[in-house]
Structure 1
Amino acid sequence: MEINTNISTDINIQLEVADPQAAAAIYDAAFGLGDRLGFRASQTPTTGFRGFILSLVVSQPSTVDSLVGTAVEAGFAVLEPAKKSLWGYSAVVQAPEGTIWKVATSKKKEVGPFTREIDDLVLLQGVADVKASKQFYVDRGLTVSRSFGGKYAEFANSGSPVTLALYPRKAAAKEAGVSLEGSGSHRIVMNSGIGSFTDPDGFVWEEAV
C-alpha cells in the first residue's frame, strides 16, 4: 500500500452513548477533558468487555487521586482502587455508560505542586494479534514509537489529542480488572485523516471532516 505522507494522523475519539448531552456533562465533571473527547447518540447493543481502555496519563499520584475522586462523584464505579505497582501508581474506573478508564502516573511519589493536568490521553485497543494490527496501522500512515513484539505497540502521536496503543485483548481485560468476554459494538469511533475503515478487531475509523 502506498502511504500518503501528507495525511493528518491526528486522532479524535467519539464515544457512542444513549444521551450525548448527559454523558458530556458527566465527563466534564469527572475529568474536564474538553474537546479531547466527543459523543454521539447510539443504541447499538454491546455486552461485557468492549475491548479497549482509555487511559489518562498524569504527572504524579495526587493527580490520580483527584481525578478518580471527581470521577466517583460523577457516578463512575471503581474497578481497581488506586495503588502503587512496579510501573507507578494507577486506578481503573468505569463510566456510567460502560467505558473503562485507567488513570495512571509512572511516578510513585509527588514530583511537584498539585495539578489536575492530563499529560496524555491513550486509547489502548485490545487486539487479537498485536503484530498484525501494528502492521495494519503502519500501512495507513501511522509511525510506531514503541514496540515489544506481540505484547505491546504504541504509535507516535505527533501532537494528536490521542495516542493509539495496542495490547493483547486478554491482557487489556486483565489490566481493566474485568472478564475478557464481550460482544457487540465497541461503542467507540475514531476520527482521523488516515481514512474510513474497520480494522481487523472491529474498531471503526471515519475520515475527519
Structure 2
Amino acid sequence: MVMATTASTAARTALASVTLEVADPEAALRFYTAFGVDAHVRLRASEAHSAGFRGFTLALTVSGPATVDGFVTAAVDAGATVLKPAAKSLWGYGGVVQAPDGTIWKIATSAKKDTGPDTREIDELVLLIGVEDVKATRQFYVDRGLTVAKSFGGKYTEFAPGAAGPVKLALYKRRALAKDLGVPVDGTGSHRIVLGGTADAFTDPDGFAWETAA
C-alpha cells in the first residue's frame, strides 16, 4: 500500500511555481517588474540567513543578443549588479546579473548575431540548481515522476517541463554552476528559494525545499 501511494504521488510531481524569499517584498516587486519577470516568480518575506552562493540561478532564454542586452540593461537600471557582462561565447551570447535581493539571473541566447530588435520576450525560463551529485539527484527526481529531457552523464540534466507551470528544472554540478556564473562556490544558510510542486512537500538531496503549490 505504501509503495502504491508513493508511485501515485511521484507520477503527478511537476514544477508549478518558483517563490523567492526576500527581505523586502515590496522593493523586490519593484525590481522584478522593472526587470520584466514579475509574472514568472512569486515573492515571500524572509529573514533566513544566507551567505555566499545560494546554489541556483534562474536563466532566461531569449531570441537574440538585442533582447539579452535589453533585459540586462533593465536589470542594471533597476539596481542589479553585473556579475558577467553580456558577451559572445562558443554557445551564443549572454550575461549574468545579481538582483538586489541576491538572486542570480542569467540571460542568454544561442544566436551570436542580432537578427532583430529587442522583443523583451522570454522564450524559456529555467531554474538551474547546483548539486553535489547530478546522477543521484536526477534519480531522486525521476523517482518522483519527473521526465528527463536531456542528460549528459554526471554533468547536467534537464527535465521536461510540466503543464502546471512555465519553469523548466535543470541540474548542474554546483562547482561548475558557480564558475559559469562568475561567483565563488562557497555558500551557507538558506537557498532563499521554494519550489512549488503538484505533489506533497519534500526536500531534495541538496536541501532545496518543495511545497504544494497553491
Matched, 1:208 2:195: no
Question: CA offset at residue 60 of structure 1?
Answer: 0.2
Amino acid paired to 1:36: H
Counterpart in 2 of 1:27?
Answer: 32
Counterpart in 1 of 2:148?
Answer: 144
Counterpart in 2 of 1:58?
Answer: 62
Corresponding residue to 2:98 among 56, 77, 94: 94
Question: CA offset at residue 21 of structure 1?
Answer: 1.6
Between the aligned partners of 2:121 and 2:61, the Cα distance in structure 1 is 9
Between the aligned partners of 2:124 and 2:198, the Cα distance in structure 1 is 20
1:66-110, CA deviations, whole angstroms, 9 ceiling, x for partnerless residues? 000010000000000010001100000001111111000011012
Question: CA offset at residue 35 of structure 1?
Answer: 2.7
Matched, 1:2 2:7: yes
Question: CA offset at residue 36 of structure 1?
Answer: 1.2
Amino acid paired to 1:100: I
Matched, 1:190 2:195: yes
Q: 1:48 and 1:143, CA in 2 relative to 1: closer, same or farther beyond 3 A?
A: same
Amino acid paired to 2:52: G
CA contact (8 A) 2:134 2:156 kept: yes
Q: 1:48 and 1:146, CA in 2 relative to 1: closer, same or farther beyond 3 A?
A: same
Q: 1:197 and 1:84, CA in 2 relative to 1: closer, same or farther beyond 3 A?
A: same
Corresponding residue to 2:80 among 72, 76, 80: 76
Corresponding residue to 2:121 among 110, 117, 130: 117
Deviates more, 1:76-85 or 1:154-163: 154-163
Matched, 1:165 2:170: yes
1:179-205, CA deviations, whole angstroms, 9 ceiling, x for partnerless residues? 000000000001010321111000000
Matched, 1:47 2:47: no
Question: CA offset at residue 9 of structure 1?
Answer: 1.7
Between the aligned partners of 2:58 and 2:66, the Cα distance in structure 1 is 19
Counterpart in 1 of 2:3?
Answer: none
Identity across matched positions, percent: 59
Aligned residues: 208
Structure 2 stretches of 5 or more lacking a match? 1-5
Between the aligned partners of 1:97 and 1:4, the Cα distance in structure 2 is 34
Aligned-residue Cα RMSD (Å) equals 1.4
Between the aligned partners of 1:15 and 1:125, the Cα distance in structure 2 is 14
Structure 1 stretches of 5 or more lacking a match? none
Matched, 1:13 2:15: no
CA contact (8 A) 1:141 1:194 kept: no
Between the aligned partners of 1:180 and 1:11, the Cα distance in structure 2 is 28
